Amino acid sequence: MSSESMLRVVEVSKSFGGVRAVDTVSFELHRGEILGIIGPNGSGKTTLVNMITGFIKPSSGKVYFQGRDITGWPPHRVAELGIARTFQTPRPFLRLPAYKNLVVPLYSRRARKMVAAGFGDRETVAMDLMEDVGYERDSSVPYKPAAALPHGYLKRLELARCLALKPELIITDELLSGLTVAEASTITPLVEKLNMSGITFIMVEHRLRELFRLANRVIVLEQGRKIAEGTPEKILEDERVRKAYMGVEVV
Protein backbone atom coordinates (compact mmCIF):
# COMPACT_ATOMS: atom_id res chain seq x y z
CA MET A 1 0.00 0.00 0.00
CA SER A 2 1.31 3.43 -0.97
CA SER A 3 1.03 6.69 0.96
CA GLU A 4 -0.11 8.30 -2.30
CA SER A 5 -3.66 9.62 -2.18
CA MET A 6 -5.77 8.20 -5.00
CA LEU A 7 -9.26 9.34 -4.00
CA ARG A 8 -10.42 12.16 -1.72
CA VAL A 9 -14.03 12.57 -0.65
CA VAL A 10 -14.54 15.95 1.02
CA GLU A 11 -17.66 16.60 3.11
CA VAL A 12 -20.07 15.06 0.60
CA SER A 13 -23.76 15.15 1.44
CA LYS A 14 -26.90 14.00 -0.30
CA SER A 15 -30.50 14.78 0.59
CA PHE A 16 -33.61 13.23 -0.91
CA GLY A 17 -36.42 15.59 -0.02
CA GLY A 18 -36.16 16.02 3.73
CA VAL A 19 -34.06 12.89 4.22
CA ARG A 20 -30.30 13.34 4.66
CA ALA A 21 -28.98 10.07 3.20
CA VAL A 22 -25.30 11.07 3.47
CA ASP A 23 -24.18 13.83 5.81
CA THR A 24 -20.78 15.56 5.34
CA VAL A 25 -18.71 12.39 4.89
CA SER A 26 -14.98 12.77 4.23
CA PHE A 27 -12.25 10.20 3.72
CA GLU A 28 -9.06 9.55 1.76
CA LEU A 29 -8.10 6.40 -0.14
CA HIS A 30 -4.48 5.42 -0.69
CA ARG A 31 -3.19 3.65 -3.78
CA GLY A 32 -3.00 -0.11 -3.26
CA GLU A 33 -5.35 -0.07 -0.27
CA ILE A 34 -8.41 -2.20 0.42
CA LEU A 35 -10.83 0.11 2.21
CA GLY A 36 -13.99 -1.33 3.75
CA ILE A 37 -17.19 0.66 4.20
CA ILE A 38 -19.72 -0.81 6.62
CA GLY A 39 -22.87 0.25 8.41
CA PRO A 40 -26.41 -0.88 9.17
CA ASN A 41 -29.05 -0.94 6.43
CA GLY A 42 -29.97 2.60 5.41
CA SER A 43 -26.72 4.11 6.66
CA GLY A 44 -25.88 5.66 3.27
CA LYS A 45 -23.24 3.26 1.95
CA THR A 46 -24.65 2.76 -1.55
CA THR A 47 -25.59 6.44 -1.85
CA LEU A 48 -21.96 7.32 -1.08
CA VAL A 49 -20.72 4.90 -3.76
CA ASN A 50 -23.24 6.30 -6.24
CA MET A 51 -21.90 9.82 -5.66
CA ILE A 52 -18.29 8.72 -6.18
CA THR A 53 -19.12 6.86 -9.40
CA GLY A 54 -21.40 9.52 -10.88
CA PHE A 55 -24.78 7.82 -10.61
CA ILE A 56 -25.94 10.51 -8.16
CA LYS A 57 -24.77 14.11 -7.88
CA PRO A 58 -23.88 15.25 -4.36
CA SER A 59 -25.99 17.98 -2.80
CA SER A 60 -22.71 19.41 -1.52
CA GLY A 61 -19.08 18.44 -1.13
CA LYS A 62 -16.35 17.35 -3.53
CA VAL A 63 -14.88 14.13 -4.96
CA TYR A 64 -11.29 14.12 -6.25
CA PHE A 65 -9.63 11.28 -8.15
CA GLN A 66 -5.87 11.52 -8.59
CA GLY A 67 -6.08 15.23 -7.88
CA ARG A 68 -8.86 15.91 -10.39
CA ASP A 69 -12.24 17.21 -9.31
CA ILE A 70 -14.76 14.66 -10.65
CA THR A 71 -17.75 15.83 -8.62
CA GLY A 72 -20.95 15.20 -10.56
CA TRP A 73 -19.21 13.64 -13.56
CA PRO A 74 -21.40 11.12 -15.43
CA PRO A 75 -20.63 7.42 -14.88
CA HIS A 76 -19.04 6.83 -18.29
CA ARG A 77 -16.50 9.62 -17.72
CA VAL A 78 -15.70 8.31 -14.26
CA ALA A 79 -15.17 4.84 -15.72
CA GLU A 80 -12.84 6.22 -18.40
CA LEU A 81 -10.60 7.57 -15.63
CA GLY A 82 -10.16 4.05 -14.26
CA ILE A 83 -12.91 3.67 -11.63
CA ALA A 84 -15.08 0.57 -12.07
CA ARG A 85 -17.84 -0.74 -9.82
CA THR A 86 -20.06 -3.71 -9.13
CA PHE A 87 -23.71 -3.52 -8.08
CA GLN A 88 -25.59 -5.13 -5.21
CA THR A 89 -27.76 -6.93 -7.75
CA PRO A 90 -25.79 -8.13 -10.80
CA ARG A 91 -26.79 -6.33 -14.00
CA PRO A 92 -25.63 -8.53 -16.90
CA PHE A 93 -27.01 -8.56 -20.42
CA LEU A 94 -29.18 -11.54 -19.63
CA ARG A 95 -29.63 -12.89 -23.17
CA LEU A 96 -25.97 -12.68 -24.11
CA PRO A 97 -23.54 -15.51 -23.43
CA ALA A 98 -21.59 -14.79 -20.27
CA TYR A 99 -18.32 -14.04 -22.07
CA LYS A 100 -20.08 -11.68 -24.50
CA ASN A 101 -20.96 -9.53 -21.49
CA LEU A 102 -17.25 -8.70 -21.37
CA VAL A 103 -16.96 -7.96 -25.09
CA VAL A 104 -19.33 -4.99 -24.59
CA PRO A 105 -17.13 -3.05 -22.10
CA LEU A 106 -14.07 -3.93 -24.18
CA TYR A 107 -15.41 -1.46 -26.76
CA SER A 108 -15.02 1.41 -24.27
CA ARG A 109 -12.38 4.03 -24.96
CA ARG A 110 -10.27 2.95 -21.98
CA ALA A 111 -10.45 -0.76 -22.83
CA ARG A 112 -9.63 -0.15 -26.50
CA LYS A 113 -6.18 0.96 -25.40
CA MET A 114 -5.70 -2.44 -23.73
CA VAL A 115 -6.84 -4.41 -26.80
CA ALA A 116 -4.74 -2.25 -29.11
CA ALA A 117 -1.67 -2.87 -26.98
CA GLY A 118 -1.31 -6.41 -28.25
CA PHE A 119 -3.57 -8.29 -25.86
CA GLY A 120 -5.44 -9.99 -28.69
CA ASP A 121 -8.93 -9.69 -30.12
CA ARG A 122 -11.86 -8.82 -27.87
CA GLU A 123 -13.30 -12.33 -27.62
CA THR A 124 -9.91 -13.73 -26.63
CA VAL A 125 -9.48 -10.97 -24.05
CA ALA A 126 -13.00 -11.68 -22.74
CA MET A 127 -12.23 -15.37 -22.27
CA ASP A 128 -8.93 -14.52 -20.55
CA LEU A 129 -10.80 -12.29 -18.11
CA MET A 130 -13.40 -14.99 -17.47
CA GLU A 131 -10.58 -17.37 -16.59
CA ASP A 132 -9.00 -14.75 -14.32
CA VAL A 133 -12.13 -14.68 -12.12
CA GLY A 134 -12.53 -18.44 -11.92
CA TYR A 135 -14.49 -19.55 -15.00
CA GLU A 136 -13.09 -22.65 -16.69
CA ARG A 137 -12.21 -21.81 -20.26
CA ASP A 138 -12.92 -25.32 -21.56
CA SER A 139 -16.30 -25.65 -19.85
CA SER A 140 -19.66 -24.70 -21.32
CA VAL A 141 -20.38 -22.10 -18.63
CA PRO A 142 -18.85 -19.02 -20.35
CA TYR A 143 -21.03 -19.74 -23.38
CA LYS A 144 -24.31 -19.98 -21.48
CA PRO A 145 -26.69 -16.99 -21.44
CA ALA A 146 -26.06 -14.89 -18.36
CA ALA A 147 -29.69 -15.48 -17.35
CA ALA A 148 -28.88 -19.18 -16.88
CA LEU A 149 -25.98 -18.65 -14.50
CA PRO A 150 -26.28 -19.18 -10.73
CA HIS A 151 -25.78 -16.25 -8.38
CA GLY A 152 -22.16 -17.06 -7.56
CA TYR A 153 -21.15 -17.01 -11.21
CA LEU A 154 -22.99 -13.72 -11.75
CA LYS A 155 -20.98 -12.13 -8.94
CA ARG A 156 -17.77 -13.24 -10.65
CA LEU A 157 -19.09 -11.89 -13.94
CA GLU A 158 -19.64 -8.49 -12.28
CA LEU A 159 -16.02 -8.48 -11.21
CA ALA A 160 -14.83 -9.54 -14.67
CA ARG A 161 -16.78 -6.69 -16.27
CA CYS A 162 -14.88 -4.31 -14.02
CA LEU A 163 -11.57 -5.85 -15.08
CA ALA A 164 -12.51 -5.35 -18.73
CA LEU A 165 -12.13 -1.60 -18.14
CA LYS A 166 -8.53 -2.05 -16.95
CA PRO A 167 -9.36 -0.14 -13.76
CA GLU A 168 -7.09 1.40 -11.17
CA LEU A 169 -9.87 1.40 -8.57
CA ILE A 170 -12.71 -1.12 -8.17
CA ILE A 171 -15.62 -0.31 -5.89
CA THR A 172 -17.65 -3.37 -4.91
CA ASP A 173 -21.15 -3.02 -3.49
CA GLU A 174 -22.00 -6.16 -1.51
CA LEU A 175 -19.84 -8.41 -3.68
CA LEU A 176 -20.18 -11.26 -1.17
CA SER A 177 -23.91 -10.93 -0.50
CA GLY A 178 -25.97 -14.01 -1.29
CA LEU A 179 -22.93 -16.26 -1.56
CA THR A 180 -22.47 -19.44 0.42
CA VAL A 181 -19.53 -19.62 2.80
CA ALA A 182 -17.73 -21.82 0.27
CA GLU A 183 -18.37 -19.36 -2.59
CA ALA A 184 -17.25 -16.39 -0.51
CA SER A 185 -14.08 -18.25 0.45
CA THR A 186 -13.11 -18.43 -3.23
CA ILE A 187 -13.88 -14.76 -3.92
CA THR A 188 -11.73 -13.31 -1.13
CA PRO A 189 -8.44 -14.78 -2.45
CA LEU A 190 -9.38 -13.40 -5.87
CA VAL A 191 -9.74 -9.89 -4.42
CA GLU A 192 -6.37 -10.30 -2.67
CA LYS A 193 -4.75 -11.42 -5.93
CA LEU A 194 -6.16 -8.45 -7.86
CA ASN A 195 -5.07 -6.09 -5.11
CA MET A 196 -1.55 -7.50 -5.23
CA SER A 197 -1.56 -6.91 -8.99
CA GLY A 198 -2.00 -3.18 -8.34
CA ILE A 199 -5.75 -2.60 -8.17
CA THR A 200 -7.07 -0.50 -5.29
CA PHE A 201 -10.40 -1.50 -3.72
CA ILE A 202 -13.30 0.06 -1.85
CA MET A 203 -15.55 -2.71 -0.54
CA VAL A 204 -19.03 -2.02 0.81
CA GLU A 205 -19.97 -5.13 2.75
CA HIS A 206 -22.29 -6.71 5.31
CA ARG A 207 -20.14 -9.86 5.45
CA LEU A 208 -17.88 -8.43 8.14
CA ARG A 209 -15.93 -11.58 8.94
CA GLU A 210 -14.65 -11.86 5.35
CA LEU A 211 -14.20 -8.09 4.91
CA PHE A 212 -12.09 -7.69 8.04
CA ARG A 213 -9.69 -10.33 6.74
CA LEU A 214 -9.18 -8.28 3.57
CA ALA A 215 -9.38 -4.61 4.54
CA ASN A 216 -6.43 -2.47 5.59
CA ARG A 217 -8.82 0.12 6.97
CA VAL A 218 -12.57 0.38 7.62
CA ILE A 219 -15.04 3.29 7.66
CA VAL A 220 -18.32 2.96 9.55
CA LEU A 221 -21.46 4.88 8.57
CA GLU A 222 -24.61 5.31 10.64
CA GLN A 223 -27.61 7.39 9.53
CA GLY A 224 -25.51 8.96 6.81
CA ARG A 225 -22.63 10.08 9.03
CA LYS A 226 -19.15 8.62 9.49
CA ILE A 227 -18.93 7.47 13.11
CA ALA A 228 -15.62 5.58 13.07
CA GLU A 229 -12.53 4.93 10.95
CA GLY A 230 -9.50 2.74 11.51
CA THR A 231 -8.01 -0.72 11.23
CA PRO A 232 -10.38 -3.70 11.54
CA GLU A 233 -8.98 -4.34 15.03
CA LYS A 234 -9.69 -0.77 16.11
CA ILE A 235 -13.20 -0.85 14.64
CA LEU A 236 -14.03 -4.05 16.54
CA GLU A 237 -13.16 -2.32 19.81
CA ASP A 238 -15.16 0.85 19.10
CA GLU A 239 -18.22 1.16 21.35
CA ARG A 240 -20.03 3.37 18.81
CA VAL A 241 -19.72 0.62 16.23
CA ARG A 242 -20.98 -2.03 18.63
CA LYS A 243 -23.95 0.19 19.46
CA ALA A 244 -24.71 0.73 15.77
CA TYR A 245 -24.61 -3.02 15.21
CA MET A 246 -26.53 -3.90 18.36
CA GLY A 247 -27.69 -7.49 17.99
CA VAL A 248 -25.47 -8.06 14.92
CA GLU A 249 -22.31 -10.17 15.00
CA VAL A 250 -19.32 -7.96 14.22
CA VAL A 251 -16.49 -10.46 14.62
Mean pLDDT to the nearest integer, 70-95 = 94
| pLDDT per position as a tens digit, 90-115 | 989 999 999 999 988 888 888 877 65
Question: Residues of the chain with pLDDT > 70: what percent?
Answer: 94
Q: Kindly report the pTM of this predicted structure.
A: 0.91
CA distance 6 to 42: 27
Quick check: 223 and 235 in contact, CB under 8 A? no
Mean pLDDT of the chain: 91
Mean pLDDT across 173-180 = 93
Tell me how far apart the alpha carbons of residues 223 and 103 are, in angstroms, rounded to a whole number.
39
Q: What domains are there in the chain, each with its CATH number? A: 1-71+201-251 (3.40.50.300)
| DSSP-assigned beta bridge partners for residue 96 | none
Average of pLDDT values for 184-195?
Answer: 93
Task: Give the pLDDT score at 36.
Answer: 98
Lowest-confidence region among 34-48, 54-68, 95-109, 198-212:
95-109
Residue 118 has pLDDT above 70, yes or no: no
> Based on C-alpha coordinates, what's the Rg of the chain?
18
Confidence of residue 200 (pLDDT cuts 50, 70, 90): very high
Using the predicted structure, report yes or no on whether residue 185 has a pLDDT greater than 70: yes
